[in-house]
Each structure stands twice: as structure tokens, then as C-alpha cells.
Amino acid sequence: MSDEPIIAQKGPYPVEVEAGKNYFWCQCGRSKNQPFCDGSHKETDITPMKYTAEETKKIFFCGCKQSANKPFCDGTHNKL
């Protein structure tokens, strides 16, 4: 299995996050529970990224796994 992230989708995942709650963003792209980790990274060196919401609001998690502003979408998917 490759240690390169897989593009889960070429676009962000809009998610309503809740203040104070922890989220584990999938960095490998293998999760069936995108954009969150489901443990599918176990055979790689890639681990999920913990994100703690500072406020309750909608955010856009990266779907292509190539963002320079992880775990957030920065538009990189438009260049893939």
C-alpha cells in the first residue's frame, strides 16, 4: 500500500463543527467516512490530523488531501 494520500474528492467537504469538539480529519484519503478518519490509514505512515473547533460554524475540510492549509480546503483541487 502506498504512503501517498489518495484524492478522496476534488472539492471540499462542508461540515458544521461544534465549538470545543475534536475532529480527526483523514489525511490518507482512504477513509469511507470522509472527511473523517475511520482507521483505513493503518497500513500507511499517514495519520489523521486532530482539529478542535474553536467555534460552532461551517468549515470546509480538504477533500483532495493536497491543501497547503490542512485540514482546510485552500483551492488546490482546482489545479489537479
In this predicted model, what pLDDT tens digit does every residue of 27-71 receive, in sequence order? Answer: 999 999 999 999 999 989 999 999 999 999 999 999 999 999 999
Among 45, 44, 53, smallest CA distance to 71 is for 53
C-alpha cell at 52: 478542535
- Which pairing describes strands 57-61 and 49-52: parallel, antiparallel, or unpaired? unpaired
Q: What's the pTM? A: 0.93
State pLDDT tens for residues 1-28: 568 999 999 999 999 999 999 999 999 9
